Structure 1
């Protein structure tokens, strides 16, 4: 991975961040709204790939519960951490590659997750922007 020091504590944080992204993948594939929502800070912000702005966990939850269970993608979705930039020891900007694999075609997203480390050591999604990647930009 790019842009990371070899510090042991930082490696543990990177692993914990990767685990959150793996849980995003698992919950998205399973269309598990409640599991997905557990990953968010209560004061989180989320902007969807199509520009819908959701402020606070209640708004994110309402949207997720309405949309995720009814999501209509064939194939599977994968999420890969491609870059972690620590802004502070307890704040990280995480660039993710999101790919929807299907029989007919694949589409891609380029989420940016700003994650915060909580007092109990958990990393949560705090300020997030999903961006659809258009073929000409790939």
Structure 2
């Protein structure tokens, strides 16, 4: 489980650094990603095109934290990872309770690395 938690931590670092290459290195070549706003990206090329356009241009001053809250092994080499994503203001406070609830399906590669394979980012709406 530590290797999976490290991937989630690497997502957080890449997002904070606005580093597309570090973020994209975490994906399987045949990955699929659905953004929090419902945009479906099929394959690493589509994910890369979107990420390279959006991530470096992000203007938000705060920080987003990513915490794996549940890991379920579907098979020894496939894990479903539920993540709590919390947006914090530049002062460090939770930004009005703004959260996301991504689901990452990760696969272990022959070399032992875990990669993001099928991911859905979901914005949590507050009442």
TM surpasses 0.5: yes
Give the deviation of 1:72 after TM superposition. 2.0
* Contact persistence 1:16–1:123 (CA under 8 A): yes
* Contact persistence 1:74–1:101 (CA under 8 A): no
Please state if 1:125 is matched with 2:116: yes
Q: 2:16 & 2:99 partners in 1: Cα distance?
A: 15
Please state if 1:114 is matched with 2:105: yes
Q: What's the C-alpha RMSD, in Å, of the aligned pairs? A: 1.0
Q: 2:126 & 2:115 partners in 1: Cα distance?
A: 30
Give the deviation of 1:107 after TM superposition. 1.4
Q: 1:34 & 1:112 partners in 2: Cα distance?
A: 21
Q: Deviations over 1:72-99 (max 9, x none)?
A: 2221110000000000000000000001
Structure with max Cα Rg: 1
Describe the SS at the equivalent of 1:72. coil
* Contact persistence 1:41–1:125 (CA under 8 A): yes
Describe the SS at the equivalent of 2:96. coil
| 1:1-138 mapped onto 2 (5 Å cutoff) | 14-102=1-89, 103=91, 105-136=96-127
- Structure 2: gaps spanning 5 or more residues: none
Normalized per residue, the structure richer in helix is 1
Deviates more, 1:94-103 or 1:47-56: 94-103
Describe the SS at the equivalent of 1:45. strand
Normalized per residue, the structure richer in strand is 2
Q: 2:98 & 2:24 partners in 1: Cα distance?
A: 24
